[in-house]
Structure 1
């Protein structure tokens, strides 16, 4: 989501309007080129990384699961952030001006809010999915049927669209804000009501869902760890004909715990990178839009970085995704012996 500081209001809004009469580029040529290079790398990583996630899940049958349906839809949202939101935000951040007109400013702000909110919603759905997989495995297939997963994905896109395009295109988000902006400045002003309501829906409620889900998963994982330890003791002593069944159950619980750990780390990264933005987003209208522009830019791009990190987290913690990524990067999917149904879990990597 984009926002920008309006500086100190002073005694009246007129002083603010004078400050924003024209946009000027304060950075020198070297710093502008450096910023363009740095932010462009982030954009490329966001697009390529998330595109690899989409390709991997679409191609390999082993990766096509209810959880990965959410992961794939999340990757689509994050990829779109990199394709159609971040490039224009980069130009605005570096140049300090908006060159694309008032209408496109509204459209860009709407897409920004929608896609970033959709990304956050998908993370909460993934946490919800993992909760049932780890804590209630016997009812998981019933609770996470294909139709229910599809419905949740639709919600992940529909609700963000409602809280973005409707209020922004109709100017409801600036109702009561008596500030006029020049055409070459794209500032996402919000009134107090919209700031609180949108932040609650887009961030704080999904965050609460994730925290509750992962707390219950953490407790279940500790309980399962004790069960695994007991099974290992039994198997070491020689359990008899049921040992293979217990080995499969042990491996299943280990996989679920590892998946929960991975997604817990993803959530931790999400909190670190998005919490500063949404905190300031609520506070800023109540302190007369006095947050410095550099603070907004830093917090905004921290949120964007979250969209680029998820694919790397999958690749680092998930062996199947790691191998799928390497196969696409090395064009090995075109070689003889490669097929959508191939096994991705068996690799030559050790200790992982």
Structure 2
């Protein structure tokens, strides 16, 4: 490497050290209050939404299926993201400082990588499950037996734990990274090898599985819709009811459009919220860690938002889940309403009887 390249590299490291050299809160009080309120709402939605999914599947037996086993495990991972990862990330993002020590910084980074990767792995397992349910329904019960589902769920937790806690707690992810980080900052820098390997395992491989599975599902659904439309057309033409044929054809097209829209939303949301982070995660070590901190924060919180949207994509869009959520809300709200009404009646009764009690005395 020539002197010019070495000089440029030293200047880049010096600028990075200046950026990481001190822990200072640059935001004014108003922006900090707004960020705390906004991010707290996101954390609350993540925890409550995923907890409702777990509660619904655990309580209602009709929701306990192989697919919903993946959805339940996904909800557990996303709920833990909201409980143990996002609150500390919120403080770090808003304050610009890390108040919890270097050991907890590594633990927090390990949990962050593990739980977000587990969430992505569960999404690919759901796509794999739906592929066999739609494209190979005769093999579905064989491929998605209880033991197979349990094994896949175990893999969804074991592999993320392997690629997070081991390398991060042993500092293998920063081997060869010559950038000193102050004690009052928690910056997740990784070397090139870990950046590429972890991103491939945590995101790009599951993304490829999801793309292939949903593309085949879309093709199978389109083919089935065309077959159904052809059968309905023949039946309608045999009876001679032209209007009935057109109506059934429209219904078939609506089913096809709804299936395509659902698959498009699932893949679109997944790519929109996770692609920016993992792209920067790979590129940043190759450009000498020159990505701005605010860019990291924005892309990281986009990924977190995906955990809050998963209950809506995989739960609230399902009619059975919506009914279960409604029953849970009614079950929780009615006792609270009765309790408030009882207290109100007791107060009103005391007010009415108190004067008579004094007069009698």
User: CA separation in 2, counterparts of 1:263 and 1:151?
Assistant: 26
1:81/1:115 contact within 8 Å kept:
yes
Whether the 8 Å contact between 2:39 and 2:90 is mirrored in structure 1 is: yes
**Are residues 49 and 261 of structure 1, via their aligned partners in 2, closer, same or farther at CA, if it must alter by over 3 Å?**
same
SS at match of 2:11: coil
Give the equivalent residue in structure 2 for 1:22: 22
Aligned residue runs from structure 1 range 143-158, under 5 A: 143-158=143-158
2-structure distance, mates of 1:315, 1:73: 13
> Aligned residue for 1:243?
none
* Counterpart mapping for 1:94-105 below 5 A: 94-105=94-105
* Shift in alpha-carbon separation, 1:91–1:333, aligned structure 2, 3 A: closer
Could you list the runs of 5+ residues in structure 1 that have no partner in the other structure?
1-7, 240-250, 336-352
1:130 aligns to what? 130
| Deviating more after overlay: 260-269 vs 16-25 | 260-269
Matches of 2:272 and 2:256, distance apart in 1: 24
- Residue 23 of structure 1: SS of its match in structure 2? coil
Deviation at 1:267, TM superposition (A): 2.6
Distance 2:170 2:229 in 1: 59
Shift of 1:15: 4.4
Which secondary structure does the structure 1 equivalent of 2:227 belong to? Answer: helix
Aligned-residue offset at 1:13: 3.0
Structure 1 position 182, deviation (Å):
0.8
**Aligned partners of 2:234 and 2:63: how far apart in 1?**
33
Counterpart in the other structure of 1:37: 37
Cα deviation for residue 9 of structure 1 reads 6.7
Name the structure with the higher helix share. Answer: 2
What's the counterpart of residue 163 of structure 1?
Answer: 163
Q: Report how many residues are paired.
A: 315
* Distance change (3 Å), C-alpha of 1:328 and 1:258: farther
Q: How far 1:328 moved relative to its partner? A: 1.3
Distance of aligned partners of 1:332 and 1:233 in 2 relative to their CA distance in 1, 3 Å threshold: farther
CA distance in 2, matches of 1:317, 1:9: 51
Secondary structure of the equivalent of 1:330? helix
> Following the alignment from structure 1 to structure 2, what is the Cα–Cα distance between the partners of residues 58 and 18?
51
Match of 1:207 in 2: 207
Say if 2:320 is the partner of 1:325. no
Post-superposition offset of 1:294: 1.0
- 1:293-350, Cα deviation, whole Å (9 max, x unpaired): 1111110000000000011223542111111112212227989xxxxxxxxxxxxxxx
Distance 1:183 1:276 in 2: 28
Could you give the per-residue CA deviations for residues 196-239 of structure 1, whole angstroms, max 9, x where no partner exists? 00000000000001101111111101100012213333554689
Larger relative contact order (Cα-Cα within 8 Å, sequence gap ≥ 6): 1
Structure with higher Rg: it is 2
Q: Which moved more, 1:325-334 or 1:217-226?
A: 325-334
Change in CA separation of 1:42 and 1:274 when aligned onto 2, cut-off 3 Å: same
Any conservation in 2 of the 1:9–1:290 contact (CA below 8 Å)?
A: no
Quote the Cα distance in structure 2 between the aligned partners of 1:56 and 1:256.
28
RMSD (Å) for aligned C-alpha atoms: 2.4
Counterparts of 1:43 and 1:161, CA distance in 2: 23
Distance 1:56 1:181, change over 3 A: same
Separation in 1 of the partners of 2:320 and 2:238?
32
Tell me if structure 2 keeps the 8 A contact 1:77–1:118: yes
The residue aligned with 1:73 is 73
Please list, as runs of the form range in 1=range in 2, the aligned pairs for 1:158-197 lying within 5 A after superposition. 158-197=158-197
